[in-house]
A and B are shown apart, each in its own frame.
Chain A
Amino acid sequence: MSLLEIRCVYFTAGGKPILENLNFTLGEGEIHALIGTNGTGKSTLARLVMGCEGYHIGSGEIRFDGLSINELPIEKRAGLGITMVWQEPARFEGITVRDYLSLGKRGSDLSDCLDSVGLASGDYLDRMLDNTMSGGERKRIELASMLALKPRLCILDEPISGIDLVSVKDIVAVIRRIQQNGSSVLLISHREEIASVADRASLLCGGRIAMTGDPDTIVRDYKSRHCVICNGQICDYATH
């Protein structure tokens, strides 16, 4: 049984179809990369799974560990072990890195979590998560929080945006560590180089899953910008 199962999901925003008849599965302990160009609905899918405000599927079903979560609010989904790293993580005044990594109280070694993402705990634990932190630092803190929280399903929305090319391999190592911690990972990105860390990959095109398979094959098609559904250029919104 899949940990996450998305069946025939439709989602529209402002009358415009964003996701159409989307089907997707993610197994327990799996890293599944979902790649696609900007505007194909990747982040929308992430928010639909997380249950963010304003993101409710028009039809279809999202199941987590066999349970339909369509009607569950975000806090219930978080209670089931679903969590998410936003593409642009929020900033917080007056909340330190230590406070933030302690949320969820899983008893993790916070210094170890920070070290794993390449941040020295002595320099960062007492820093505020506010605008004094760079985008790259904030993103690494968010990944460290996934190590501390040990969720069942970790949704990573564009984890390497704002990260320099040299550091991408570090982020790949962190994602593996998250998996080794017992989390399944839905890895969303428009950059194909991150897909190598995945066990499987899917290509999202025009609001649908165009193909699913081993990451190398999916990346090859993605790089060729070839869509098997429309037999043409990989496109943005649901236009098939």
Chain B
Amino acid sequence: MAKYATMPLIDKILSLLDSAGTNSSVLEDRNTAHIVADGQNLLSTQAIPGVTIDIKERPDITIAGITIAGEARVANPIHFCFGMLQRIGTQNFRITIKLEPHAHASFLAHGLFSNVEFARHIMDQYVEIDEGANMRFTDSHFHGISGGIEVATTGKVKVGKQARYISDFSLTTGRVGKLDLKYSVQADDHAVVELTSRVFGHASDIIKINEDVRLDGLFSRSLIKSRVALEGEARAEIIGTTEGRAEGARGHMDCMEIIKDQAVGQSTPSVKVSHPLAKITHEAAIGTVDKQQLETLIAHGLSPEQAVDAIVLGILR
């Protein structure tokens, strides 16, 4: 059952969610699990059959434990609605997610920070996906025009045998501010891992993405995909590491950065292979908008500015 605190606050957060393009009425659905918070204030939680939510609130941090029962097929995505209504503040969450064997669940996390001027959002995740389980985690941030926000997200993920973990982080609306995204994933036999990040940096935004996948299991597979667009004086440093440590392990890293103005992008792929039958590949492309793509769209009737926007927004979709 939903546990609602101060109603006007939750109405305001839900309004931000609507503005971000998600119909907030989804949180009124009794079959949809959720956690809603404004800063450090927990506004609502709802567990459903098969989804257990355990919350511990402390003044400086909120600790949430979520367990998906074995064999459970959670039909609706579990929503994390984390926002901040104040212009200044800190939000610090530690979330532990466990999918028991053969459970299936998807999560939609909404970072609603369009009102803030100076704020920190800290999110530490510990994820354990048991054998045969399947988890999809989509984390979409919506920021305002102030570059005074810092986002520090870490994830430590264990993907069990024949399990699957797919994560998709996006921050393409508003100023990034400072982003520090660190993911570390370990994959067991026949596990599948996909990490995608999409970020659009403007002005003096600073972006650091560091993703590390260790393919320990036989025939485990992974893809790290980064798509970053930069303009103004924004800076991005993308580090991707994949380590193949078992027979049949296959990993690929794919980084693309489009740079405009005085922005600076850097990509550092790191490949480690410690088993002769493992194989890791990588590709990286950093530069301005591709000339032929640009001319093709212009030849189809777009202005040069519209063509650049279409290409940049395309890679961030």
Which chain A residues border B76 with CB–CB below 8 Å?
Answer: none
What is the count of residue pairs linking A and B with beta-carbon distances less than 8 angstroms? 57
Q: Does A83 contact B (CB under 8 A)?
A: yes
B293 near A149: Cβ-Cβ < 8 Å:
no
B285-317 near A? 1/0 per residue, CB < 8 Å: 000001111011111111110000011011111
Chain A nearest Cβ from B312, distance in angstroms: 9
Complex: how many Å from CA A99 to CA B301?
Answer: 13
Segment from A28-36, A86-94, A224-232 that makes contact with B: A86-94
A90-108 near B? 1/0 per residue, CB < 8 Å: 1111110001100111000
A50 near B299: Cβ-Cβ < 8 Å:
yes
Complex: how many Å from CA A94 to CA B311?
Answer: 8
Q: Does A72 contact B (CB under 8 A)?
A: no
Chain B nearest Cβ from A146, distance in angstroms: 10
Which chain A residues border B298 with CB–CB below 8 Å?
Answer: 74-75, 78
B315 near A94: Cβ-Cβ < 8 Å:
yes
Which chain B residues border A93 with CB–CB below 8 Å?
Answer: 227, 256, 314-315, 317
Which chain B residues border A79 with CB–CB below 8 Å?
Answer: 301
Which chain A residues border B227 with CB–CB below 8 Å?
Answer: 93
Interface residues of A in 43-101 (CB under 8 A from B): 50, 52-53, 74-75, 78-79, 82-84, 86, 89-95, 99-100
A53 near B295: Cβ-Cβ < 8 Å:
yes
Which chain A residues border B256 with CB–CB below 8 Å?
Answer: 93
Which chain B residues border A89 with CB–CB below 8 Å?
Answer: 296
- Chain A residue with Cβ nearest B313: A94
Chain A nearest Cβ from B219, distance in angstroms: 23
B293 near A86: Cβ-Cβ < 8 Å:
no
- Chain A residue with Cβ nearest B293: A90
A95 near B314: Cβ-Cβ < 8 Å:
yes
Q: Does A184 contact B (CB under 8 A)?
A: no
B256, B295, B302, B317 — most chain A CB neighbours (10 Å): B295
Which chain A residues border B301 with CB–CB below 8 Å?
Answer: 78-79, 83, 103-105, 149
Complex: how many Å from CA A232 to CA B115?
Answer: 75
A94 near B300: Cβ-Cβ < 8 Å:
no
A75, A82, A99, A149 — most chain B CB neighbours (10 Å): A75
Chain B's interface: helix, strand, loop or mixed, by majority?
A: helix
Chain B nearest Cβ from A34, distance in angstroms: 18
Which chain B residues border A99 with CB–CB below 8 Å?
Answer: 310
Chain B nearest Cβ from A32, distance in angstroms: 19
Which chain A residues border B297 with CB–CB below 8 Å?
Answer: 103
Which chain A residues border B290 with CB–CB below 8 Å?
Answer: 90
Complex: how many Å from CA A100 to CA B314?
Answer: 11
Complex: how many Å from CA A129 to CA B152?
Answer: 34
Q: Does A145 contact B (CB under 8 A)?
A: yes
A52 near B300: Cβ-Cβ < 8 Å:
no
A128-170 near B? 1/0 per residue, CB < 8 Å: 0000000000000000010001000000000000000000000
Complex: how many Å from CA A94 to CA B196?
Answer: 14
Chain B nearest Cβ from A53, distance in angstroms: 6
Chain A nearest Cβ from B66, distance in angstroms: 31
A86 near B316: Cβ-Cβ < 8 Å:
no
A92 near B299: Cβ-Cβ < 8 Å:
no
B295 near A52: Cβ-Cβ < 8 Å:
yes
Which chain A residues border B299 with CB–CB below 8 Å?
Answer: 50, 74, 78, 82-84
B295 near A74: Cβ-Cβ < 8 Å:
yes
B292, B301, B304 — most chain A CB neighbours (10 Å): B301
A149 near B300: Cβ-Cβ < 8 Å:
yes
- Chain B residue with Cβ nearest A145: B300
- Chain B residue with Cβ nearest A142: B296
Chain A nearest Cβ from B227, distance in angstroms: 7
Complex: how many Å from CA A95 to CA B317?
Answer: 9
B311 near A92: Cβ-Cβ < 8 Å:
yes
Complex: how many Å from CA A86 to CA B299?
Answer: 10
Complex: how many Å from CA A50 to CA B296?
Answer: 10
Chain A nearest Cβ from B158, distance in angstroms: 30
Can you name 19 A-B pairs with beta carbons within 8 Å? A52-B295, A53-B295, A78-B298, A79-B301, A84-B299, A86-B296, A90-B293, A91-B293, A92-B314, A93-B256, A93-B315, A94-B313, A94-B316, A95-B310, A100-B300, A103-B301, A103-B302, A105-B301, A149-B301
> Other than the known A50-B295, A103-B300, what 13 A-B pairs have Cβ atoms closer than 8 Å?
A79-B301, A83-B299, A84-B299, A86-B292, A90-B290, A90-B292, A90-B293, A90-B296, A94-B313, A94-B315, A94-B316, A104-B300, A149-B300
The chain A residues found within 8 Å of chain B, CB to CB, are 50, 52-53, 74-75, 78-79, 82-84, 86, 89-95, 99-100, 103-105, 145, 149
Q: Which 5 pairs between the two chains have the least Cβ-Cβ distance? A: A94-B314, A94-B317, A104-B301, A103-B300, A90-B293
